[in-house]
Amino acid sequence: MRGEYRPYAERTPDEQYKNLIRTILKDGVKSPSPMVDENGNEINTIDLLGAPVIRFDLLKNGVPFLTERSLKGFWRGAVGELLAFVNGAHTQAELEEFGCKWWKSWCTEKKCAKRGLETGDLGPGSYGAAFANFPTTEGKPYNQFVEIIKQIRERPELKTHFISPWIPQYIIRNKDFQQKVVVCPCHGWMHFRILNNKLHLVMFQRSCDVLIGCPSNWVQYSAFLLAMAEVLDLEPGEFIHMISDAHLYENQLPWVNQILERESKPFPTLTITNSHDSIFDYRPADFELSDYEPGESIKGIPVGI
C-alpha cells in the first residue's frame, strides 16, 4: 500500500459518530416508518435530513471502526457484503460466500414472493445487479466498476468517476410498476476523485440507520477505498460520508444512550495483507485489523426489517 499510517499513539479520538447521534436527537423529526421490528410491530424513526458531512483521513487518523462498542465480531462480514455487491452478487447465497450472513430476514419467501422473486433473491434492482449488470438501451448489461477503473486509469483528472446503485424502473412503486428489489439501495453512490496523487472517495447515502447500518458502512467503504487505491497504485486519501436521511429508530434509544456515555478512542489500522491486480479478486481475508481497542460489544440492538 502506498503511504503510511500515522502511528497509533499520535492519533486523536474521533467524536463524529456521537456528534451525529446528538444532532439527530436535537434536530431530528419524529416520523412514521414503513419498517417493522422482528415481532412485526411498526416502529417510528427520528429523522435528520441533510446530516453534517463526515470526513475521515484514513492514513492520518486511522480507519473509522467504532471504538464506543466493539465491531470485532462482524467487520469482515461488512467488508464482504460490499465486495460481493461489486462482484454482482444479488442472492443471499452469493453474499454468504463472501462472509456476509445477515440478509436472511430480508430475503424470506414472503418478501420475495411479494415482488415476484425467488426466495433468497434480492432482485434486479439490488446493489450487485446495478454495479455489475446495469441495464442499457442497447440491451447489453453494463459493468460500472470495469468501466470506471478503465476511465480512472486513462483519464485520472476527470470529475466523472461516479458509481450509482439506483435502477429506477425496479425500485419505483405505483400502480404501473411492481418493485423488483427486497431492499431499495440505501448507500453506494460513490464519487472517486484523484487530488494530490491521492484517491478520495465520497459516498452519498440515501438512508442510514445510524445505530446499525452506519458502523458497517464506514468499515466497508474505508476498506474498499484502500483496495481501490491499491489496484490503481495510488495513496488512499479521505473517505467522506454524506447522508440524506440519517435516522434512529425509537426502540433503539436505550442503546443510543449507552453509546453516548462511552469513551471514544483513536481509530485502528486496517491493512491489506494480500494485494490483487483486480478489484474483483478482493475478499475479507485480504484485510488485517490492528491497534483496535474498543469498548465492549453491545448486543440486542433492534433492527428494522
Q: Annotated catalytic residue: which of 100, 184, 186, 208?
A: 186
Distance CA 179, CA 301 (A): 29
Distance CA 289, CA 110 (A): 38
Distance CA 84, CA 74 (A): 15
Going by their DSSP bridges, the two strands 198-209 and 235-249 should be labelled as: parallel
- Counting other chains too, the contacts that 167-171 makes at CB distance below 8 Å and 24 or more residues apart are 167/124, 167/125, 167/129, 167/130, 167/134, 167/135, 169/125, 169/135, 170/123, 170/124, 170/125, 170/129, 171/125
How many residues make up the chain in this entry? Answer: 305
Verify whether residue 186 is a known catalytic residue: yes
SS3 124: coil
Q: What positions carry a catalytic annotation?
A: 186
